[in-house]
Amino acid sequence: MTSAGDLRHRVGFFQRAVVSDGNGNNEAGFPADPVFECAADVAVKFGGEAVLADRLRGTKTATITVRRSSATLAVTEAWRVQDMRDGTVWNIRSGPVDPDDGRAWLEFLCQAGSGVGS
């Protein structure tokens, strides 16, 4: 069970912005500043490797736990998370999930590494 003392990381949540280039095309990219920041627990799992285009690429998976709020409930897999202290960028693979149905915490399954597309 997560407690407030476990929230040792500061993470920012970034939403991909879709902007027209003026020629009828849409360009998507992440802004430099997060939509919001909050305290989080980042529990890194064992690393893994994937073969993509005949190249071995390392990835790491983590479960990121944050307090439940209207802002964190709005996050989808199209967003990404960044550790604001060390700069690690995490792509959200699933979530938000309420781990114990207690309506206090939300978990996101995230992935970072050279094998992860943005």
pLDDT at 88: 93
The CATH number that applies at residue 59 is 2.40.10.270
What pLDDT digit, counting tens, does each position of 5-57 carry? 889 999 999 998 877 777 877 777 888 999 999 999 999 987 555 555 555 56
39 occurs within a structural domain:
yes
Q: How far apart are CA 4 and CA 66, in angstroms?
A: 10
47 occurs within a structural domain:
yes
76 occurs within a structural domain:
yes
How confident is residue 62, by pLDDT bands cut at 50, 70 and 90?
Answer: very high
118 occurs within a structural domain:
no
Task: Tell me how far the alpha carbon of residue 50 is from its chain's centroid.
Answer: 20
What pLDDT digit, counting tens, does each position of 78-113 carry? 999 999 999 999 999 998 999 888 899 999 999 987
The span from the first CA to the last CA of the chain, in angstroms, equals 31
Residue numbers of the domain that contains 40: 4-18+27-113
87 occurs within a structural domain:
yes
pLDDT at 48: 59
Residue at token pair 């781990």: 99
Characterize the bridge pairing of strands 80-83 and 36-44: unpaired
Domain count across the chain: 1
Beta bridge partners of 60: 112
How confident is residue 60, by pLDDT bands cut at 50, 70 and 90?
Answer: confident
Cβ within 8 Å of residue 118, ≥6 positions away: 30, 80, 89, 91
Backbone dihedral angles phi then psi of residue 71, each to the nearest 5 degrees: -70, -45
